[in-house]
Structure 1
Amino acid sequence: MTAAPLPNCTDLVAAVEAVLFVAGEPITVEAMARVLQISEEQVLTAVGALQQRLDESGSALQVIAIAGGYQLCTRPTVSEFVARLLAREQGKLSRAALETLAIIAYRQPITQPEIEAIRGVACASVLRTLLDRNLICEAGRKSTVGRPILYRTTQSFLHYFALRDLSELPPLDAPTSTPAEDGGA
């Protein structure tokens, strides 16, 4: 079934708002254009108009560019109230999970033995947790003995940390050697 073309700018902005609301996660300009049967330029114009309307009205909502797309989300000024309502089931990531995730983010694709060499401890259970939360995924196998699994971050990782892409990661100012290279310290 083909929808009728959107006749005016107000309808277009409302349609983009509805798509962003229902998506519940970042959606690309290309996907919105396809769903709404309009050009990518029209989508970008409507996204800008929607953000302006939300800003001017003092709305608790905002449109953000994140993980390669756009998402309708709450403003930081009301995040405390939303957090109380949602009270995440999964809880926060442990220090070990954050360290492992940082290693994967900066060195991807990377294998479990390479991660363990950097951290100096086993990380199988941490990798399972990150896989379960969809923050990392398997990215093939390394062409070495044993063909270990390669891991990389996912779109959910970008979303979780509010990044548009990996280039937004802060610069890494860490030593270039690993604990294994330093004699296992």
Structure 2
Amino acid sequence: MNEENLRRVQNIVEAALLTAGRPLSLEQLRELFEEAERPARQIMEHVLVMLGKACEGRGFELRKVASGYRFQVRQEYAPWVGRLFEEKPQRYSRALLETLALIAYRQPITRGEIEDIRGVTVSSNIIRTLQEREWVRVVGHKDVPGRPAMYATTRQFLDYFNLTTLEQLPPLAEIRDLEEIGREIEQEIQAEIKFESPESSPGPEGTDSEASTGEESAGDSSTTLH
């Protein structure tokens, strides 16, 4: 493919990523083209590398996440871009963050197992909030009396936290306790600014018997299972 055609493909991919408002996989990008002119995977990968380099020195970057590729504002510019939105970033209870951390690191895991580790009852509102944000989902039922649901993270969880696989989570050996994991997750949430509308924010999440109920709510959303 000559330089002119490569540039044309790059422009088409750039336009699609700017318009989509969600990550697009390499195959989805290839399907933008009629079969007769569809670039080979190797060509498309080269175009994405070129596009990534074209973003160098700019306020946004091309980022690969679990669902594919997307443009997003560079993290260092988040404080300024965040002023465009009237809504404050959502704050989550410690109980929700600890529950999410346990699901991420111990999946698949049941609600009862989460309660055994945390030592308190997990509110149904917390599980519902995590499912509404599409960060966790039921992946089966444990073969014990009552057949409790087993939870795992989703591809949207990976996308939201700029991950492509679960292996990119910080090793547990580097994190002292669940509260520290929760703080790290909340920092990621506060810093996350993408080319997305904040209008799809869910309502406030529930708390369990250990958490306070007066925390702020506002908000945004993004594992895939093996």
State the TM-score, normalizing by the size of structure 1.
0.82
Q: Say yes or no: does 1:149 pair with 2:149.
A: yes
1:22 corresponds in structure 2 to: 19
Cα gap change, 1:87 to 1:65, in 2 (>3 Å): farther
Given that residues 67 and 159 in structure 2 are in contact (C-alpha distance below 8 angstroms), is that contact kept between their aligned partners in structure 1?
A: no
Given that residues 66 and 162 in structure 1 are in contact (C-alpha distance below 8 angstroms), is that contact kept between their aligned partners in structure 2?
A: yes
Q: Say yes or no: does 1:50 pair with 2:51.
A: yes
Identity of aligned residues (%): 38
TM-superposed deviation, 1:10 = 1.2
For 1:138-177, list aligned pairs within 5 A. Answer: 138-173=138-173
Q: Distance in 1 between matches of 2:9 and 2:113?
A: 49
Q: CA RMSD in A?
A: 2.0
- Secondary structure at the counterpart of residue 140 of structure 2: strand
TM-superposed deviation, 1:25 = 2.2
Residues 35-72 of structure 1, C-alpha deviations (whole Å, 9 max, x = no match): 333222122111111111121xx321210111252111
Cα gap change, 1:154 to 1:89, in 2 (>3 Å): farther
Residues 158-183 of structure 1, C-alpha deviations (whole Å, 9 max, x = no match): 122211110001111379xxxxxxxx
TM-superposed deviation, 1:141 = 1.5
Deviates more, 1:165-174 or 1:84-93: 84-93
Cα gap change, 1:90 to 1:125, in 2 (>3 Å): farther
TM-superposed deviation, 1:75 = 1.2
Highest Rg: 1 or 2? 1
TM-superposed deviation, 1:90 = 6.5
TM-superposed deviation, 1:83 = 1.7
- Secondary structure at the counterpart of residue 55 of structure 2: helix
1:4 corresponds in structure 2 to: none
For 1:85-104, list aligned pairs within 5 A. Answer: 85-88=84-87, 91-104=90-103
Residues 86-124 of structure 1, C-alpha deviations (whole Å, 9 max, x = no match): 355771222111110110001111111111111111112
1:39 corresponds in structure 2 to: 40
Q: Which has the higher contact order (CA 8 A, sep 6+)?
A: 2
Deviates more, 1:91-100 or 1:26-35: 26-35
Q: Distance in 2 between matches of 1:61 and 1:90?
A: 20
Q: Distance in 2 between matches of 1:115 and 1:106?
A: 11
Given that residues 68 and 165 in structure 1 are in contact (C-alpha distance below 8 angstroms), is that contact kept between their aligned partners in structure 2?
A: no
Q: Distance in 1 between matches of 2:29 and 2:165?
A: 19
Q: Say yes or no: does 1:127 pair with 2:94.
A: no
2:106 corresponds in structure 1 to: 107
- Secondary structure at the counterpart of residue 53 of structure 2: helix
Residues 9-36 of structure 1, C-alpha deviations (whole Å, 9 max, x = no match): 1111111111212222222212212233
Structure 2: runs of 5 or more not aligned: 177-226
Q: Distance in 2 between matches of 1:122 and 1:10?
A: 57
1:66 corresponds in structure 2 to: 65
**What is the letter of the counterpart of residue 54 of structure 2?**
R
Cα gap change, 1:11 to 1:157, in 2 (>3 Å): same
Given that residues 134 and 156 in structure 1 are in contact (C-alpha distance below 8 angstroms), is that contact kept between their aligned partners in structure 2?
A: yes
Cα gap change, 1:94 to 1:28, in 2 (>3 Å): same
Cα gap change, 1:129 to 1:62, in 2 (>3 Å): same
